[in-house]
A and B are shown apart, each in its own frame.
Chain A
Amino acid sequence: MGRVSEYAYISANLRAKISRILEPEFLLKCAEAQDLETLLVAFKDTDFSFLQELYHRTADIKTCEKEVLDNEIAYNSYLFKHTKGAVRRFCEALAVRYEADILKDVLRLWFDRTVRHRNIDEYTPYLHREQIVHLLPIDPILNAEKPETVLSLLSATPYGKVLEPVLATVVEQETVYAAETAVDEWVFRQLREAAEGLAKPDREIAMNYVSLLVDIENLNRIARLKHYFRFDSRQIRERLLPGGRRLPVRESVLADGFENNFAALVEKYFSEPGETKVPSDASPFDRLLLAEAVSAEMREKQAQKALCGNPFSIGMIIAFFIRKRLEVQRIITLLNAKYYRLGKDRIKELL
């Protein structure tokens, strides 16, 4: 099948869908809304107009948030339906990221209930339970008492093997971090393999995107591991993923103490003229915000690049994934910020 016929339908459809994605400027304007109900009126005539009716029916912001996420996830099955072979495998690998996020949430809740003995009832109704790529037995996991039960429940999925070496340590070390990392590493492996399986022009575009995701993940890890886990340079370096193009993970380049000046690190490896301004001294929260901002900016650039490139390539799918994710993240930020009555300036900062 020629590239044009392979991508013609899906590209045209995605381009139409991309044109419906809300511009950041519109969302910044929405931040001016006085309260949640006024914000929801602003979504009239957009793809999020359903939120007004949903909130009117439930008065529950988390239900709204879940619906937004569910809608985003539903696009995956749309992509599966209209792609074939290696392209479909790559789409699946992209969709696995959503699944992995859900699994990580489930593991965190299971951990909170069994190890920290916390009440998780408030959160469980909002988990996405429909199958994305693999069937996750979410409720049995949440109700399992031991790590072995969790592993046996996941044995029918690739996650069983992924978590086998680490799940026991989760209870011992009283942190779910090792399990999360293992899942993430597996996801990135899947992505890389799926990208490598694509035909040549697509492969390059997809590999670029995967390496961007790796860079973003590594940046996030550096931002978190230093302050939230008190790891030293060596420990952080060990946990960085290979395959990024911007941030080198070799010891010879990332010398001891590299994590202490996060701002300089961002400036050196991620800043280009016109990109996010880096404050010289960043607090842990600022570091995360900065990592988020850099991530959003880099993804947006990647999407822009993909949109300007060959329309009959994997680029359009990648651009759609990026833009949709960014849009959904911003919408959720807006909804929560308005619900919790954050100030307009603060919301704009978060957006």
Chain B
Amino acid sequence: MIRTAKMVQLSAVVLEKYFDRVTRELLDLGQMDFISVKEVSPSLARSLREVKGVVSVSALKDLRKKIESIMAVGRIEFPSLKHAEIKPLTENGLAALSAEVASVESEMNLLRQRQQNTQADILRLEEIRKQVAAALRHKAPGRENPYAAFLVTRYGSFSGDREDLINVLRGVPCAVLPVSDTSLHEYILIHLKKDILKVESALAETAWKGGEPVTGDAAVNPEIGERLKKRLEEVQTRQDELKYDVETVIGNEKQHIKDLWTQLRVAETYSAIQQRFNKTERTFVFSGWIAEKMKKKVSDGIFKACNGDCYIELTSAAEAVEEEGLVPPVLLETPKLLKPFETVITNFAVPAYGTINPSYIVALTFMLMFGLMFGDVGHGAVVLLAGIIGTITARKKRKPDYIYNLMCYCGLSAVFFGVMFGSYFGYSWLPAVWFNYHGAVVGHNASGMVQSLMQILALSAWLGVGMISLGIFFFFYNCICCKKWLELLTDKSGLAGAVFYWGGVACAYFFMTDGSFARMPGWALALCFGLPTVAFLVRLTVHSVKEEGRFKITAVPMLIMELLIEILEVFSGYLANTLSFLRVAGLGIAHVSLMQAFFTLAEMVGSDSVVKAVASAFLIVLGNVLVIALEGLSAWIQTVRLHYYEFFNKFLMGGGIAFRPISLAEKRED
């Protein structure tokens, strides 16, 4: 738990007749991160054949993506695969599924065609409407209107249906509008002057009876503009109905589509497992990583699926690394509740195999830092509420919710520290359990162990020392786990760096309290800074020898130069890292000060009349909102920053490969 999970390499040989049963078992267990046999044993791989599943994974994936595009149109959520029946798919099965998808698609395409036609009508009407609008806008008595010059209006009657008339004129940008809401057969026809011949020849073939065409300014009037707008709305409504029809077509098949998707997803994962197998004449061979604690369950599962007719070999990660040069994947066994903090770590880097899993500590330090910067019961409760709402919404939409989970934790922490500081929306409604932050900052009503700004700053500096020291201890632990003895002794985060740092901290403490280093004995000073210097020199020399192949006397000046730079870097690095934690105090003080500023403003406004009282209350609400939004964001950013730059870089050896077993719970690949 404190380290990344121990892994075991499982290799198995099973008889051909158990191929499907083993696949099913492995999929059901969902615990194996497969390795190519080529990686394990290149010589063995040469005598093996690759396995092609009955149906290719890419064909299944293509069809699944097609269904997903239909699901997206129909706003269908992805079904859960928790209780999905594990069933392989044959070529015929895939063909049948494709046919089913094609049938839904063909129904959609018919509607799409109608949508295209309607869209063409909308565009034509829109064009005429814009031109009529422009003509109306530029209409001025006694002046030629270029926007009206190319518009033609005809008034007439048509005994047939309006749709027939529209169909006759299809392809020509024009609008057929009823003269009034009650008229059945009398229409206004608006088109462009350039299409005059086309329109006349089309109308000649119908029973249209109309007067002379009207052009120029006389062709347009606001009534026509209004009728056009109305007509456009009608067509747009028709278009919306068609969109709804498409959704209905999909909606009617909702469960069916979900089932198709489930079948395909299962079949795809099933085939993906089978493609990881290799084949001899009568057996199948496969290999992969599993968590050590699962080895019995997985081995038993395979054994049972083969009725005992199989050969299983389990190799420890250490052996696999040593003998086969494999890199074990990394599984961080963080409890589900603390998973969001694991994401904070993996966003920075996946820890190397066998090193520390800092999730538990990060959960504590993350909440501690945020709480110290944002400690207020009311503000924390708002953040918590926002986190809960976000989590529910994200879960509904099946989107990642870890950021909202973190908000919940941060909100809880802010509430806790709010109680500790006695801060409730900036007010001290209850006495502080630990110390009154507001009192310490503002300088009155201070109570508890911290009563001044300097003490707050000192508190955060000690927090920094604690965090950095913790990082150093983690580095020790990682070095011991990975047997990196040279780094343990001589690295800047190793023992040498630690002695240097703690010596520096002691010096700083004595200087701050006594104004001199007198309490620090000379031998201790020499030990704290001399020993690390020697250790750094040893490391640099070893590296130089490794690079050059032997020790060269000519490299000495360069080594001295490097040593000086290293000492400077370690000194400035540790100093900056520690001082960086003063931002915890800075943010906390800013939080209090901002609230105090709004309280002062509200006081200045006064409350001796209703208006003033309302304005004053408004200022306090506004202050709280701003502080929650701005300070909340700042505290969040600083918490992440302090972890990434000041804490993780002390010990987190990245470069690990995340453990990704093939399972139905696996994140859906896009």
| Cα of A187 to Cα of B243 in the assembled complex, Å | 43
A42 at the interface (CB under 8 A from B): yes
Chain A: which residue is nearest B172 at the CB level? Answer: A121
Of B66, B112, B119, B172, which is within 8 A of A34 by CB? B66
Question: Which 5 A-B residue pairs are closest in the complex by CB-CB distance?
Answer: A143-B150, A59-B115, A125-B123, A37-B69, A59-B112
Q: Do B65 and A58 have beta carbons less than 8 Å apart?
A: no
- CB-CB contacts of A29-72 with B at 8 A, as 1s and 0s? 00001110110111010000000100011111001000000000
For this complex, 9 residue pairs linking A to B, each with C-beta atoms less than 8 Å apart, are A37-B70, A57-B243, A58-B119, A58-B122, A59-B119, A124-B173, A125-B127, A139-B131, A143-B193
* B431 touches A (CB below 8 Å): no
Closest-by-CB residue of B relative to A124 is: B127
Residue interface mask B233-270, A partner, CB < 8 A = 1: 00000011001001000000000000000000000000
| Complexed CA–CA distance, A5 and B492 (Å) | 41
Q: Is A57 touching B239 in the complex (CB atoms < 8 A)?
A: yes
At the interface, yes or no: A242 with Cβ under 8 Å from chain B? no
> Is B560 positioned at the interface, with any CB of A under 8 Å from its CB?
no
B146 and A38 contacting across the interface, CB-CB below 8 Å? no
Within 8 A of A (CB), among B615-646: none
B124 contacts across to A, CB distance below 8 A: 121, 125
B73: interface (CB < 8 Å): yes
12 additional A-B residue pairs with CB within 8 Å, beyond A38-B65, A58-B116: A37-B66, A37-B72, A38-B66, A40-B72, A41-B65, A52-B72, A124-B127, A139-B130, A139-B147, A140-B146, A140-B150, A143-B149
Query: Is the Cβ of B171 less than 8 Å from the Cβ of A121?
Result: yes
* Contact assessment for A56 and B134 in the assembled complex, using a CB-CB cutoff below 8 Å: no
**In the complex, A129→B195 CA distance in Å?**
21
A311 lies within 8 A of chain B by Cβ: no
The smallest C-beta distance from A102 to any residue of chain B, in angstroms, reads 15
Q: Which residues of A contact B173 (CB under 8 A)?
A: 121, 124
Instruction: Tell me the complex Cα distance, A113–B198, Å.
Output: 14
Q: Which residues of B contact A37 (CB under 8 A)?
A: 66, 69-70, 72-73
Q: Is the CB of B116 within 8 A of A60?
A: yes
Task: Tell me if B507 is interfacial: C-beta within 8 Å of chain A.
Answer: no
Does A288 have its Cβ within 8 Å of any Cβ on chain B? no
Interface contact B119-A60, CB-CB below 8 Å: yes
A: which residues have CB within 8 A of B? 33-35, 37-38, 40-42, 44, 52, 56-60, 63, 113, 121, 124-126, 129, 137, 139-140, 143-144, 153
Query: What's the Cα separation between A133 and B378 when bound, in Å?
Result: 51
Which A residues lie within 8 Å of B68 (CB)?
Answer: 38, 41
Give every chain B residue within 8 A of A137 (Cβ-Cβ).
Answer: 146-147
- Pair B115/A58 contact, Cβ less than 8 Å: yes
Please tell me if the beta carbons of A40 and B69 are within 8 angstroms of each other in the complex.
yes
Q: Are A35 and B66 in contact (CB under 8 A)?
A: yes
**Interfacial chain A residues near B246, Cβ < 8 Å:** 56
The CA of A187 and the CA of B424, in the complex, are separated in Å by: 62
Task: Give Cα A121–Cα B124 distance, bound, in whole angstroms.
Answer: 9
B243 contact from A33, A56, A125, A153, Cβ within 8 A: A56
Task: Give every chain B residue within 8 A of A52 (Cβ-Cβ).
Answer: 72-73
Question: Do the beta carbons of A140 and B147 come within 8 Å of each other?
Answer: yes
Q: How far is the CA of A328 from the CA of B432 in the complex (A)?
A: 58
Complex contacts, B243 vs chain A, CB 8 Å:
56-57
Output the least CB separation between B200 and chain A (Å). 16
Q: Which single residue of chain A is at the shortest CB-CB distance from B125?
A: A125
CA gap between A41 and B78 in the complex, in Å: 14
> Quick check: is B670 within 8 A (CB to CB) of the other chain?
yes
In this complex, the member of A34, A59, A137 whose beta carbon has the largest number of chain B beta carbons within 10 angstroms is A59
Residues of B within 8 A of A144 (CB): 150
Given A42-B670, A140-B150: A125 and B116 within 8 A (CB)?
no
- Given A41-B65, A129-B130, the answer on whether A58 and B239 have CB atoms closer than 8 Å is yes
B194 within 8 A of A: yes
Known A-B contacts A59-B115, A139-B134, A143-B192; A38 and B147 likewise in contact (beta carbons under 8 Å)? no
Fill in one digit per residue for B103-121: 1 if any A CB lies within 8 Å of its CB, else 0.
0000000001101100110
Whether the Cβ atoms of A41 and B130 lie closer than 8 Å is no
Q: Which of chain B's residues have a CB closer than 8 A to the CB of A38?
A: 65-66, 68-69
Chain A residues within an 8 Å CB radius of B240: 57
Q: How far in angstroms is the closest Cβ of chain A from B542?
A: 37
A66 to chain B, nearest CB (A): 10
B69 engages A35 (CB within 8 Å): yes
